Amino acid sequence: MVKPVSAEPSAVIRSRRETYRHGDLRRALIDAGVALAREGGPDAVVLREATRRAGVAPNAAYRHFASHHALFDAVRTHALGALAQAIEREWAKALKVRGAVARARALLRAVGTGYLGFAQAETGLFRTAFVFGEHDVQVPPDPARTAAMGLNPFELLGAALDAMVAAGALPAERRPGAEYLAWSAVHGMALLIIDGPLRAAPAAARRALAERLLVMVENGL
């Protein structure tokens, strides 16, 4: 006896079509791209696979993304916003520290802690966020690359350094360019942890090294 075909697949398809008719296909494609990046990093973000996961024909994607690069840029933007969100969670804790100097130092550590934590918890998105190509820190501000505070990760680092200067914890003459010194140190540690010799180190050892690095950055700027 032939079993009746379930109505669920067609219902799902109709639901998708109705949703996409109302302009959500772009969001669905980005979500699919984010999932691909989370699973396999930047190389996994392929437009054809994103359309397959979204349940639409490849040609439908071109109404929203003219190329693979356009979709990738949207996924990278999401990854930077997620990183900003991770940093802000640590930032909120640092704001509770009493005393201007101690709070400023805590804010700088919060940026590094959020950055390193995100690299380990969301490695695929982290790698995607820092595929540079034509992108750099000088691009116009994009709210999609930020979280609640409206600052992208680089701007959050800058805000922490400004707080250090305002509190007297960092001499003003040493402020210019300090973002790059702090960023290079913390980003280097992140790569050692996710791609380098620290991959196999116990979690406690990685945490201890990360804490020492952040103290070194704080004291060495």
**The CATH fold of domain 76-220:** Tetracycline Repressor; domain 2 (1.10.357)
Q: Which residues contact 219 (CB under 8 A, 6 or more apart)?
A: none
Give the contacts of 47 (CB within 8 A, at least 6 positions apart): 58, 61, 65, 67, 68, 71
Alpha-carbon distance of 189 to 183, in angstroms, equals: 10
C-alpha dist (Å) from residue 31 to 49, 62, 198: 12, 16, 31
CA 77 – CA 110 distance, rounded (Å) = 22
- Which residue is it, tokens 């050892």? 205
User: Amino acid identity, residue 32?
Assistant: A
CB of 91 closer than 8 Å to CB of 155:
no
Instruction: Give the whole-number percent of the chain exceeding pLDDT 70.
Output: 86
| Dist. CA 37–CA 47, nearest whole Å | 12
pLDDT digits (tens, 9 = 90+) for 18-62: 445 545 899 999 999 999 999 999 999 999 999 999 998 888 888
How far is residue 18's CA from residue 1's CA, in Å, rounded to a whole number? 34
User: Tens digit of pLDDT for each residue in 142-164?
Assistant: 888 899 999 999 999 999 999 99
Residue 20 contacts residue 56 (beta carbons within 8 Å): yes
3-state secondary structure of 191: helix
Q: pLDDT band at residue 137, thresholds of 50, 70 and 90?
A: low
Instruction: Give the whole-angstrom CA distance, residue 156 versus residue 83.
Output: 11
Model pLDDT for residues 80-121, shown as the tens digit of each residue: 999 999 999 999 999 999 999 999 999 999 999 999 999 999
The chain-wide mean pLDDT, for the chain, equals: 88
**Tell me: the pLDDT tens digits for 174-189?**
999 999 999 999 999 9
Are 70 and 179 in contact by the 8 Å Cβ rule? The answer is no
H/E element, 101: helix 100-121
* Residue for token pair 């969301």: 122
Instruction: Confirm if 169 and 105 have CB atoms less than 8 A apart.
Output: yes
Residues 63/154, Cβ–Cβ less than 8 Å: no
> Whole-angstrom Cα distance, residue 188 to residue 202?
18
Q: If you search the block for the tokens 């100097």, which residue do you land on?
A: 101
pLDDT value of position 131: 87
CATH of domain 9-66: 1.10.10
Domain boundaries, the chain: 9-66, 76-220
